[in-house]
Copies of this chain bind each other. A is one copy, B any other.
């Protein structure tokens, strides 16, 4: 497919380009803070840029009239209104986390939570590289929100660990552990690739990445 990236020189922009090239897709539209380069009209646009340029992203997508995959963080309620508006005419896939594994993990956590009663202990642990300041990680908080109780969270900061999350469920008889580790940014770009491969067949509408995963 022929695709475009808004936020092309960012880390995710570069990683998406790498994986999509490897998979035989052609980058025909690049935009970043230094400007825009249009080789050809893209079949879809992927936005991993900054909240600040969100209004411009919307404008571009409307002009190009192509489906949008957006992973930019920090979107506000009114930004989501603009996405819904856009999604009346075009397919739009929005997520704050395009990792296939993390999205499966959160489905599993919800499932286990249905089975275990209050007599099971539940704790969440996460390990990230030493430069990550916030504790616990956003993903750990998201996982905790899936469970109907307050629970202990443990945050290790070690070396260059890209990102590991673990949820433990224990009764006095046994312990069940669900663990996810991302090797690299490819954990996210693979989810973007899966989205890109499906978006051209979608009807107009606003989709989460979980919608795509469940198709």
A181 within 8 A of B: yes
Q: Which residues of B are found within 8 Å of A60, using beta-carbon distances?
A: none
* CB interface residues, A 161-194, toward B, < 8 Å: 161-162, 168-184, 186-190
Query: Are A173 and B108 interface neighbours, CB within 8 A?
Result: no
Q: How many residues of A contact B (CB 8 A)?
A: 49
Partner of A160, one of B100, B186, B189: B186
Given contacts A107-B111, A111-B111, contact A180 B187 (CB under 8 A): no
- Chain B minimum-CB-distance residue to A101: B174
Q: Which residues of B are found within 8 Å of A180, using beta-carbon distances?
A: 174-177
For residue A100, give the distance in angstroms from its CB to the closest CB of chain B. 7
- Chain B minimum-CB-distance residue to A178: B178
A75 within 8 A of B: no
Binds B, one of A50-58, A84-92, A149-157, A201-209: A149-157
Query: Are B176 and A101 interface neighbours, CB within 8 A?
Result: yes
Q: How far is the CA of A24 from the CA of B40 in the complex (A)?
A: 43
Query: Are A175 and B181 interface neighbours, CB within 8 A?
Result: yes
For residue A50, give the distance in angstroms from its CB to the closest CB of chain B. 24
Q: Which residues of B are found within 8 Å of A158, using beta-carbon distances?
A: 121, 123, 168, 170, 175
Given contacts A107-B111, A154-B154, contact A100 B159 (CB under 8 A): no
Q: How far is the CA of A180 from the CA of B180 in the complex (A)?
A: 15
